Homo-oligomer: A and B are copies of this chain.
Amino acid sequence: MHQPWDALEAPRFTGPRTFARLPYVRDLADVEAAVFGMPWDGSTSFRSGARFGPESVRSMSAMLRTYNPVQKIQVFGELSTIDYGDAPTVPGYVEDTLERIEAFVRPLAEAGVVGIGIGGDHCATLAELRAYAKVYGPLGLVHLDSHTDLWHEYFGQPYAHGTMFRRAIEEGVLDSDRMIQAGMRGPLYGIEDEQIPDELGVQTIPWVDLAEMSPARFAELARARVGTGPTFFTFDVDFVDAAFCPGTGTPEVAGPTSFEAMKFVRALTGISFVGYDVVEVAPQYDSGQITALFAANVAFEMLTLQRMAVMQKSA
């Protein structure tokens, strides 16, 4: 059982920073969940810096403890979890980088270990999806974000942090019929942007609509959409209002609070997630590391969902 270093033995600010002070391990034996970084910010359309997202999230993840009192779930100590290190990346070469990240994630998919990716710009998610789809086939997607990331291309090039879910559909690694995304807001490039999800067959819930919906209702819609098949859960921190995540590349105002966000996350039980990520943490723009702390807690909620899934399966 891999678990964090005991926080009562030495203060949580001691020791080289791994996620939640978990052991940094590359051997996947006896591992149920693996947290890893995707230090990449080459495909951001506005502010770069997210290559240091994994470092910053690891730093604040020292604040995490082991038990989730809202879900009433013991996470660490029950779910064998490791810090799997960081995927290799190549500054300036998005396509090469995607291949390297995919190759890094593939062993997790093959070993049946659930991964929790920490980003890093959102384009990296495409690499994770490819890795899981190689093993599980086309995936469903639950996607919380302020942007759809379904644009066609940027500046004549195909891979960017605003286009990769369209690429994933085109490549067949995502099944658009099993995709649901929510939280979208902020000005668009034009009215035609509004039709993109429909054209692609994706279900999109803008924030103004989600704001009127209970977490339970949203979770119901998500479960109906993704069904029982293998599904990925991706959380872009710009889903929350900029005041809660200043440390990100393309923040948007007029969005949810961190408490509202967490309620939507906690409601997403009962889905067959094969992988998760929380992305777009850019610490250069953060304030008191609150964005990193928020992302660390999102990852903790994801580990909780995973522990709940394991318990349900063995029940």
Contacts and interface: CB of A to CB of B under 8 A. Distances in A.
Interface of A: 7-18, 24, 37, 39, 41-49, 51-52, 54-55, 58-59, 62-70, 72, 74-75, 77, 83, 85-94, 96, 123, 154-157, 159-160, 184-191, 193-194, 206-208, 211, 241-244, 246-248, 250-259, 261-262, 284-290, 293-294, 297, 300
Contacts of A206: 69-70
Instruction: With a 10 A CB-CB cut-off, give which of A14, A66, A89, A288 has the most chain B CB atoms.
Output: A288
A interface SS class: loop
9 smallest beta-carbon distances between A and B, as pairs: A246-B288, A92-B94, A284-B284, A285-B288, A287-B287, A10-B88, A65-B187, A14-B86, A43-B92
A159 B92 contact: yes
Each complex incorporates copies of this chain amounting to 6
A45 B91 contact: yes
B70 A208 contact: yes
A86 B47 CA distance: 16
A15 B16 CA distance: 11
A253 B262 contact: yes
B14 A17 contact: no
A287 B288 contact: yes
